[in-house]
């Protein structure tokens, strides 16, 4: 069966204060990060039921991403983005995540600098998209 996924739950402009950077002075302070997240997921159940328990909880996503960014204390945005994307795919029922993380105060002459990545959940047979394990490998049927 041909599967396409066009439903997206998104978060735009999540503000997080976190330790990020390679320089010693950056390791001693927190800096603002602006995070955009697009989680490709099936929202049809929530659309029919109008029940929050059938929806991907974007408040929980925001809380988790904030906590992870603060805990990881990455040197590179690339590392932070990869870690957060992997955690999102592991914890939430999503087929694909696109994540951008910007440092708005890093370069005075720029509004912001940052990275954007897209990661896909591991493909499995005709099962619904649910992340079953931390290792992103297909489960035996």
- Residues annotated as catalytic are 103
Measure the CA–CA gap between 90 and 55, rounded to whole angstroms: 17
- Show the tokens assigned to 101: 């993380």
- Of 8, 68, 74, 2, nearest to 38 by C-alpha is 8
The Cα-based distances of 20 to 48, 88, 119 in angstroms read 41, 20, 22
């Amino acid at each position: 069966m041909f599967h396409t996924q066009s439903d997206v739950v998104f978060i735009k402009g999540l503000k997080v204060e976190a330790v990020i950077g390679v320089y010693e002075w950056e390791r001693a302070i927190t800096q603002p990060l602006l995070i955009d997240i697009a989680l490709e997921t099936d929202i049809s159940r929530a659309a029919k039921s109008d029940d929050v328990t059938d929806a991907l909880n974007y408040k929980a996503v925001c809380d988790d991403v904030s906590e992870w960014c603060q805990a990881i204390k990455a040197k590179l945005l690339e590392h932070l983005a990869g870690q957060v994307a992997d955690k999102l795919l592991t914890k939430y029922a999503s087929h694909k995540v696109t994540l951008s993380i910007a440092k708005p105060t890093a370069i005075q002459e720029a509004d912001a600098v940052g990275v954007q990545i897209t990661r896909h959940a591991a493909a499995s047979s005709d099962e619904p998209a649910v992340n079953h394990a931390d290792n992103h490998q297909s489960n035996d049927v």
